[in-house]
Amino acid sequence: MDKPVLRADARRNRAKVLAAAEEAFAVDGLAVPLDEIARIAGVGAGTVYRHFPSKEALFQAVVVERVEQFAKEARELLTAEDPGEAFFGFFKRVVKQASANRALCDALAETTGLGFNANAGTGFRSASQALLTRAQAAGAVREDIDGDDLRALIAGCLAAERYSPESRHLVRVVVDGLRKTV
């Protein structure tokens, strides 16, 4: 936990690497070669490794940041008037954002870890769970769904979206399936 005061150029390069990684991962996911990221950042591969111990760590740093944003949104929605609307809005928003970001898709596809299931995703887990529970209590969402199911459904929507990006129906099917059948 030491921060020995990074040199100015080092700080700059670290930022450039992060920006380049965010961009490259968003387009091509984990498949992008590390050299490519270094090239975009205008930096050598060695420099990337000075700041991040491995490609995986860099990827995780990028993904975690994004997931934390989702968690923050979820927490803010907890005080919304209509619990059902808040929940479904959040759901759609996450799917829409993530489907435009290959990095998040890949992180989710990895069953072990990096995604919403990682330790770093704790904030997201608890916040989305709260959102779900509140919507269920309000009678807007069917009861036989828990937080794990919710994340699995998000992953499923992402896959469907990637498979057929032009159709907007898919998320709606899932959303309608989630609604409480009165």
What residue ranges bind a copy of itself (CB under 8 A)? 108-109, 111, 142, 144-146, 148-149, 151-153, 155-164, 167, 169-170, 172-178, 181
Nearest to 38 by CA among 53, 57, 24, 56: 24
Q: Which does residue 140 touch among a copy of itself, DNA, none (CB within 5 to 8 A, set by kind)?
A: none
Nearest to 156 by CA among 103, 112, 91: 91
> Which of residues 51, 125, 134, 151 is near DNA by CB under 7 A?
51
Rounded to a whole number of angstroms, the minimum distance from the CB of residue 160 to a copy of itself is 3
Nearest to 106 by CA among 59, 61, 141: 59
Q: Which does residue 34 touch among a copy of itself, DNA, none (CB within 5 to 8 A, set by kind)?
A: DNA
Please say whether the beta carbons of 125 and 147 come within 8 A: yes
Q: Which does residue 50 touch among DNA, a copy of itself, none (CB within 5 to 8 A, set by kind)?
A: DNA
Q: How many residues of this chain interact with DNA, rule: CB under 7 A?
A: 25
> Which of residues 23, 29, 34, 133 is near DNA by CB under 7 A?
34
SS3 content of the chain, % helix, strand, coil (to 5): 75, 0, 25
- Point out which span in 10-18, 62-70, 106-114, 157-165 binds DNA (CB under 7 A): 10-18
* Cα 69 from Cα 84, distance rounded (Å): 21
Give the CA distances from residue 76 to residues 4, 95, 128, 131, in Å, rounded to whole numbers and listed in that order. 35, 18, 11, 10
> Which of residues 1, 2, 3, 7 is near DNA by CB under 7 A?
7
Inter-helix orientation angle 83-99/122-137, to 10°: 140
List interacting residues with DNA (CB under 7 A). Answer: 6-10, 12-14, 32-35, 42-47, 49-51, 53-56
